[in-house]
Structure 1
Amino acid sequence: MILKSFELNKIKLNKYNFYLFYGDNEGLKEEIIKNLFEKNYQDKISRYEEKEILDNKSDFFNGVFTKSFFDNEKLIIVNRATDKSKVIIEELVKKNPKDVLIILNSKNLEKKSILRKFFEKEKSIICAPCYEDNNQTLNAIINSFFRNRKISISQQLINILIERSRGDRKNLNNELEKINNYSLNKKNITLQEITKLTNLADNYSASELVDNSLAKNTRKTVTILNENKFTEEDNIIIIRTLISKLKRLLKICEFIDNKNSIVEAVSSFKPPIFWRDKQIVTQQLNNWKREELKDLIYKSNEIELLIKKNSSIGKNILSDFIISNSKKANN
């Protein structure tokens, strides 16, 4: 059965066990899965890549049908689903597993796709396309973002952000995250600032730079620093992104005490860590101890103040700090 994405709020989601979300709007799919489904399952979520279930169908079926005394309900998310999954999903629909909700997350599927046709035809399963956002929906997201932060913004600035998002709210959310890191305690933001911020690191994002530094991927870190000409505003975004990620790692460290496993802690952490980021977050946790993270947060705040006071050499200060931490050996 076909539903438009906004129609999902009008149905009882627990009446259906199978959902297919397809399309190029990764941001919309992430929001739907997180806000409508994941929040109801908490620690009862299993994630698979399509290749995993194709390579070992029996293990996947065991994961679907095996229940524990404490966990009767479960949410299973299959990423990068294609037509190759159709036979397996068709078999599962016939078996109709109880208390199990299965979501397929797919890229854009053509009309002739057998997986898409199967979901469209069957009335007991849901198919929802997630196409590019239009200017109206992106405009609403931007207005809500700045209104919640009590920052005034012109329509010209909104139009620039819409253009940079290329029709995908995930791209837009990435740009808004940069602005959020930069605009702490600011009540206004200029056209020049927006233009510079949304041009940050055409080849690499601030997040990628910080991730590789914390993962101690020194060569990649140096490459990113060398291949980008960071502005004064960029330097502030990068150091604030570092502080934000350090605080998240510190929270996960506290979570590990209850889970006894880094992998388990990363998988069940809230808000959820996107599947493609889990590997590097795990690598970071293996590289840093809790006290080291606390110390680095303190030093990062000092570096931010130092960069602000010495903006002309801000990039040198930041680069030295980033590289030194990417090289730091474990104790």
Structure 2
Amino acid sequence: MKLISSNIQSLFGNKPLPQLILIYGPEEAEVNVSKQKIIKFLQKSEAEEIEVINIPYAAVRENPIALRDEMASLSLLNNKRVIVVTDAAATISKELTEVIKRSKGSSTVIFIAGDLSKSSSMRKFFEEEINILAIACYKPDQMRLKKMVREYLDKEGFKYQNEIVDTIVEILPANEHIIRNELNKLSIYLGQQKQIAYEDIINAIGANAEISLDDLCAALVAGNVNQVQKYLNSLQSADVNFMLIIRVLANFLVKVIKLKGLIEGGKDLEQAIFSLKPPVFFKQKDNLITAAKKLSLDQALSMFKTMVDIELKCKKGLAQPEVILNQELSLNIRQNT
């Protein structure tokens, strides 16, 4: 029997789960999320203990009887048992399939595998047998992820615009587990505040970069092409999402433009900085002061337009985001210096 991971909730009804389950697919994170959902369902309540035993597939393949014995064993603490067979191969021997089918005991056995072709004997065995299950894990589509984000925000009582949901899904990996963790961090960051602003997304979720995004903003303002490329490379190495980088730079330039407008309206620099909402602190404040002194309003507007163009090009898939960002920023710096 086969199931797509996006439909995994259909398993969690009144009927018992199959005792033998294969979870496979190219998306390792989605495979892990599916495994955790099954274990959580088996746990039934937080007070109930689940004993999880991990066994490498190589050991099971070499000695199938060891898996049979493990399945038949009882927990010393009388807990439910889940046996996770890790790194399963594309092939499964006839001896192992016979041992699995004849094994007794109440343990749930989950085989974990990477991407398996349709010709894989492992995949065929789990998909074609009636009383066991194969769960295929693919990258979640954006509509599903946006639905998950909205459900989380609504449940927590937050107020937000649709663009907030779009931004969260765009700047984070297509991974439910990661997105849920980041939403938890956002909730902690907001505290009693229930209205979510774009600034909150950047401050709560964008704070993960190992290399400060503030340094990239400073290099951009200074017109230092080499430093910009250095920080972009560092951010890429740290696996920081490029859509987040684009949004942070665009947001920084919006603040610079607001700052220039306030100064032209008669405020001095300190008053203008103090007037910005939400307030800015620490290094970003220094960067904004430097930008307000160095950039003209036309230059700031030109750089902001560049960021908008970069985002559109990235969404059209004209090239890799890191290539577009590097080339366009370097070109803009040369045009403004």
Q: TM-score range by the shorter chain?
A: 0.5 to 0.7
Query: If the length of structure 2 is used for normalisation, what is the TM-score?
Result: 0.53
Alpha-carbon distance, 1:179 to partner? 1.2
Q: Tell me what 2:282 maps to.
A: 312
- Contact kept, 8 Å, 2:92 with 2:121, in 1: the verdict is no
Q: Deviations over 1:145-185 (max 9, x none)?
A: 22222221211110011113343212312321331332222
Q: Between Structure 1 and Structure 2, how many residues are aligned?
A: 215
The one of 98, 107, 127 equivalent to 2:134 is: 127
Opposite residue 8 of structure 1, the aligned amino acid is L
Change (3 A) 1:36 1:43: closer
Contact 1:49 1:80 (C-alpha < 8 Å) held by counterparts: yes
What's the RMSD between the two structures over aligned residues?
3.8
1:96 aligns with 2:103: yes
Aligned counterpart for 1:20 among listed residues 12, 19, 22: 22
Counterpart residue identity of residue 2, structure 2? I
Amino acid at match of 2:24: Y
Q: Distance in 2 between matches of 1:86 and 1:148?
A: 47
Question: How far apart, in 1, do the equivalents of 2:130 and 2:204 lie?
Answer: 46
* Counterpart position of 1:153: 160
Identity, in percent, stands at: 19
SS in 2 for 1:80: strand
Alignment of 1:216-295 (within 5 A): none
Q: How does 1:61-76 map to 2 (within 5 A)?
A: 61-67=68-74, 71=78, 74-76=81-83
Give 1:109 deviation, angstroms: 2.2
Distance 1:36 1:90 in 2: 26
Q: Offset of 1:102 from its aligned partner?
A: 0.8
State the shift of 1:22 in Å: 1.9
Offset at residue 192 of structure 1 (A): 2.3
Report the counterpart of residue 201 of structure 2 in structure 1.
194
Matched, 1:171 2:174: no
Instruction: Give 1:56 shift.
Output: 6.2
Could you tell me which runs of 5 or more consecutive residues in structure 2 were left unpaired when the two chains were aligned. Answer: 213-233, 239-279, 285-337
1:9 aligns with 2:12: yes
Partners of 1:28 and 1:124 lie apart in 2 by 23
Structure 1 position 115, deviation (Å): 0.9
So what's the TM-score if we normalise by structure 1? 0.54
Quote the Cα distance in structure 2 between the aligned partners of 1:107 and 1:2. 16
Structure 1 stretch displaced more, 36-45 or 133-142:
36-45
SS of the residue aligned with 1:33?
helix
Matches of 2:158 and 2:188, distance apart in 1: 13
Which amino acid in 1 is paired with 2:174? G
Larger radius of gyration: 2
Q: Deviation at 1:73?
A: 5.4
**1:120 Cα shift?**
0.9
Which of 187, 212, 220 lines up with 1:180 in the alignment?
187
Tell me how far apart the structure 2 counterparts of residues 174 and 62 of structure 1 sit (CA, whole Å). Answer: 37
Per-residue CA deviations over 1:208-242 (Å, capped at 9, x if unaligned) read xxxxxxxxxxxxxxxx9xx98xxxxxxxxxxxxxx
* Cα distance change, pair 70–157 in 1 and its aligned pair in 2 (3 A): closer
| Residue 105 (structure 2) pairs with residue 105 (structure 1) | no
Please give the alpha-carbon distance, in whole angstroms, between the structure 2 residues aligned to 1:50 and 1:134.
31
Q: Tell me how far apart the structure 2 counterparts of residues 203 and 30 of structure 1 sit (CA, whole Å).
A: 29
> Structure 2: how far apart are the matches of 1:30 and 1:47?
12
Secondary structure of 2:147's aligned partner: helix
Aligned 8 A contact 1:2 1:127 in 2: yes
Q: Is 1:35 paired with 2:49?
A: no
Amino acid at match of 2:37: I
Structure 1: where are the runs of 5+ without partners?
206-223, 229-309, 315-331
In 2: Cα distance, 1:171 partner to 1:35 partner: 17
Task: Give the conservation status (yes or no) of the 8 Å contact 1:21–1:104.
Answer: yes
Cα gap change, 1:90 to 1:189, in 2 (>3 Å): same
What residue number does 2:273 align with? Answer: none
With over 3 angstroms needed to count, the CA separation of the structure-2 counterparts of 1:190 and 1:171, relative to structure 1, is same
